[in-house]
Amino acid sequence: MKFSDSFLDEIRARLPVSQVVSRRVPLKRAGREWKGLSPFNKEKTPSFTVNDQKGFYHCFSSGKHGDVFSFLMETEGLSFPEAVERLAGEAGLELPKLDLQFERSAKERLGLLDALEAAARFFEEQLGTAEGRDALHYAEHRGLTPEILKEFRIGFAPQSRDALKGALLKKGFTEPQLLEAGLLIKPDDERATYDRFRNRLVIPILDLKSRVIAFGARALDPNAEPKYLNSPETKLFDKGSTVFNFARARKSAFDKNELIVVEGYMDVIALNQAGFANVVATLGTAFTERQMERLWQLAPEPIVCFDGDKAGEAAAARAIDRMLPALREGHSFRFAFLPQGSDPDDLVRSAGPRAFAECVQAARPLIDVVWLRERSAQAIDTPERRAAFEARLEHLLAEIGNTRVRDHYRREVKNRLFALWREKPARGASPPSGRHAKPAPRSGATPLPSAYGFAATVALALVNHPWLLDHYAEEVARLEIKDRPLAALLGAVTSAIFADHNITRERLIEQLQQSSHAKLLDRLLRESPFKRVAFLQPETQRSEVEEQFADLIYRFRALPNLSRELLDGADHLADVSDAEFERFAALQQQVASVGQRHISDDAGEREASKRFQETVVRLKQEQASAQRGRRPEKRR
């Protein structure tokens, strides 16, 4: 059975050579290639290489060389049809059905290719005619040299309705062939067919083997619509899987290990002339999975270049949504944004190649663009808006099909959220002020600083229950820890948890004990006061841990305000109403509760409680005197 070139190319695009070979030969990464021991000869030093970008393997010990099909034929003794059938199944493609007209179809395709090649030559010739002078002047005005015009086979389509049609019919091509190749248009009212491209600068679109399969054409009349016109989809031209300039860019992209993707073919041509041979375009379509696979054949992280305007931003936003589901290990995209109002052609002509190169060098990874897009979508100044921000991110991450990549994205997003909440406290939140920074003396050895009363509890809670950070990253990020060693320990704990989403308590402690925080952690684990806090114990039920941890975080953030309010108001309690008196009493009880449950040593809290109790005693004495008829003098 015979198979079409496009079908075989699709299998090659979907199955990297390393993926097929690694099932039989253990491979190790070696720069841009993979290496392993030869499957054809016994050897101790690896001489077998695989190159996914070029799509082949090579064995230096035996001289054998080939692609995915020949590898199965060489190593498993399969025939070519059997190898194709096996790999098509792995690639998720159905084999073409046996068709008695296959030979005729193949000949028809060859006929279409011949017609398109003849059309390309016709257009090239017309650019040098008197009628094509305006088109040539336009190309020269765009800065295109004769060399670049020749390299890209740029031509001119005359204004006449049947100039191309008449020329190709004379060469023996039939009208149905020209219709099927997308060169002619058939009106609905049964009038005569006419040329699709008229009064346009014409650029051939090539396939992977550098054969003409379609055309792109730029209108020369400023009032003509559309400005850019492509061939319709045909048996040869599938817009969703075609990448403009793929065949020319292949070598340069491989040599530089870098591929630049722009929006239009005129940008590709201008950049090639400026020295950027590793540039392709997607013909104005939104990214398809097939196009992304094509791009990854040339580089693992293509740089997608967008115009510096709203249309470019919108195109980037659409691209993100299409890229996330297709991501896989080692394969992603980076984004370069040009100055406002510029496209690649404009930038190179106005500021030179260096300006464009600097934009490319400043390209940002996909995660950055995802983050910035969602971050700028809405303010995050309220709990509800912050929750919506996190929900949008989580929805996007759920679109990533590859489990490993999705897990790493989630860790990265959690890290960024943690850092963001540190930088941007919630509106109305009052982080600890450090007003009472001096530690209270304790009996025994060197006393623990007062910060240990709460911050150490948070750190130990995360050590014993790492899963807490999934739910309370924002709250933990907002904690202001004045004690530097303790702050560093808490930072090491959160970093370790973010780095390994499924880290266990035992593994976390093991990592910390191998760091500079080992002594402090050991001391906290041995301190007897913390052993009295139930939810710090590893065996405590999850629901109880979460309830008490949430309460701890709330009280830690609220405590400085309570202390300040008590200290500021205790001297004036004699003048307040019963309702105000009850409110201060409740505040005093809350401060006492915090100190009792979470081992606060802060001198400010004890001072607030002491002064409050003294005021209560004085108020009771004054109230008793009043009842005996002696009105007390108000305190000034």
Q: Are residues 17 and 132 in the same domain?
A: no
Shared domain for 291 and 150, answered yes or no, is no
Domain extent at residue 141: 103-237
Instruction: Please report which confidence band the pLDDT of residue 340 belongs to, taking 50, 70 and 90 as the band edges.
Output: confident
Q: Hey, is 489 helix, strand or coil?
A: helix
pLDDT digits (tens, 9 = 90+) for 283-338: 866 788 889 988 998 889 999 998 777 777 778 888 899 999 999 998 999 999 88
Residue 216 has pLDDT above 90, yes or no: yes
In the prediction, which pLDDT does 427 show? 46
At 430, is the pLDDT very low, low, confident or very high (cuts 50, 70, 90)?
very low
Q: Mean pLDDT, to the nearest integer, of 441-455?
A: 43
**217: Cβ contacts below 8 Å, ≥ 6 apart:** 157, 197, 200, 201, 202, 203, 228, 229, 230
Give me the CATH number covering residue 330: 3.40.1360.10
Residue 493 has pLDDT above 60, yes or no: yes
- Which pLDDT belongs to residue 30? 86
Say how many C-beta atoms besides its own lie within 10 A of residue 221's C-beta. 12
Tokens of 289: 């999975």
At 280, is the secondary structure helix, strand, or coil? strand
Give the neighbor-by-neighbor strand order of the sheet with 33-36.
Answer: 28-30, 33-36, 48-51, 56-59, 65-66
Q: Is 95 within a domain?
A: no
Claim to verify: residue 278 and residue 181 sit in the same structural domain: no
CA-to-CA separations, 292 to 240, 325, 330, 442, in angstroms, rounded: 10, 11, 13, 65
For residue 20, being part of any structural domain is answered with yes
User: What is the average per-residue pLDDT within 80-95?
Assistant: 88
pLDDT surpassing 90 at residue 419: no
**pLDDT score at 442:** 35
Q: Is the pLDDT of residue 195 over 90?
A: yes
Q: What is the mean pLDDT of residues 180-207?
A: 94
Residues 564 and 460 in one domain: yes
Cα separation, 136 vs 131, in Å, equals 10
Tell whether 522 and 603 lie within a shared domain: yes
Give the confidence band of 456 by pLDDT, cuts at 50, 70, 90: confident
CATH number at residue 155: 3.90.980.10
**303 shares a domain with 252:** yes
- What letters, b where the CB count within 10 A reaches 16 and e where it falls short, cover 270-298? bbbbbebbbbbbbbeeebbebbbbbbbbb
Give 280's strand partners: 261
Q: Do 469 and 371 belong together in one domain?
A: no
478 and 415 both lie in a single domain: no
Q: What is the mean pLDDT of residues 23-47?
A: 89
Tens of pLDDT, residue by residue over 348-388, are 988 999 999 999 999 999 999 999 889 888 888 888 998 99
Same domain, 505 and 581: yes
Q: What is the mean pLDDT of residues 409-422?
A: 83
More confident residue, 269 or 44: 269
Helix (H) or strand (E) holding 548: helix 542-569
* 442 belongs to a structural domain: no
- 635 assigned to some structural domain: no
The DSSP element (H or E) to which 36 belongs, if any, is strand 33-36
Select the more confidently predicted residue: 503 or 614.
503
- Give the pLDDT score at 635: 44
Cα–Cα distance measured from residue 249 to residue 279, given in angstroms and rounded to the nearest whole number: 6
Phi and psi, residue 224, nearest 5°: -75, 145
Same domain? 454 vs 564: yes
| Tokens coding 210 | 């550098």
Look at residue 458 and tell me whether its pLDDT is greater than 90. Answer: no
What local confidence, expressed as pLDDT, does residue 437 receive?
33
End position of a domain, from candidates 187, 207, 237: 237
> What are the structure tokens assigned to 99, written together?
């068709």
H helices present in 128-239, as ranges: 133-141, 146-151, 163-170, 175-180
Q: Give the lowest-confidence range in 242-246, 541-545, 584-588, 617-621.
A: 584-588
Q: What is the pLDDT of residue 130?
A: 95
Residue 44 has pLDDT above 90, yes or no: no
Q: What is the mean pLDDT of residues 512-519?
A: 88
* Whether residue 417 sits in one domain with residue 510: no
Per-residue pLDDT reduced to its tens digit, 93-141:
888 775 555 555 656 677 899 999 999 999 999 999 999 999 999 999 9
388: in domain: yes
The CATH code of the domain that includes 568 is 1.10.860
Question: Helix (H) and strand (E) counts for the chain?
Answer: 27, 16
Q: Which pLDDT score is estimated for 626?
A: 57
Q: Give the side-chain half-sphere CA count within 13 A for 6.
A: 15
As a whole number, mean pLDDT of residues 440-445 equals 34
What confidence tier does 208 reach under pLDDT thresholds 50, 70, 90? Answer: confident
Shared domain for 384 and 483, answered yes or no, is no
Percent of the chain exceeding pLDDT 90 equals 38
pLDDT, residue 129, reads 96
Tell me which of 461 and 600 has the higher pLDDT. Answer: 461
State the pLDDT at residue 616.
Answer: 53
C-alpha closest to that of 82 among 92, 71, 56, 41: 71
**Number of domain units in the chain:** 4
**Report field, pTM of the whole predicted structure over 0.85:** no
Residue 567 lies in a domain: yes
pLDDT at 416: 86
Question: In this structure, how many other beta carbons lie within 10 angstroms of the beta carbon of residue 435?
Answer: 11
Mean pLDDT of all residues belonging to the chain:
80
Render pLDDT for 162-188 as a digit per residue (tens, 0 to 9): 999 999 999 999 999 999 999 999 998
Residue ending a domain, among 41, 57, 90, is: 90
pLDDT of the residue at 610: 57
**pLDDT number for residue 594:** 44
Last residue of a domain, one of 90, 113, 129: 90
Q: What are phi and psi of 508, to 5 degrees?
A: -65, -45
pLDDT of residue 534: 66
63 forms beta bridges with none
DSSP secondary structure, 470-481, as one string: HHHHHHHHT---
In a domain, 205, yes or no: yes
Mean pLDDT of 27-47: 88
* pLDDT at residue number 181: 95
Mean pLDDT over 421-438 rounds to 45
109: in domain? yes
pLDDT band at 438; cut points 50, 70, 90? very low
> CATH number of the domain that 57 lies in?
3.90.580.10
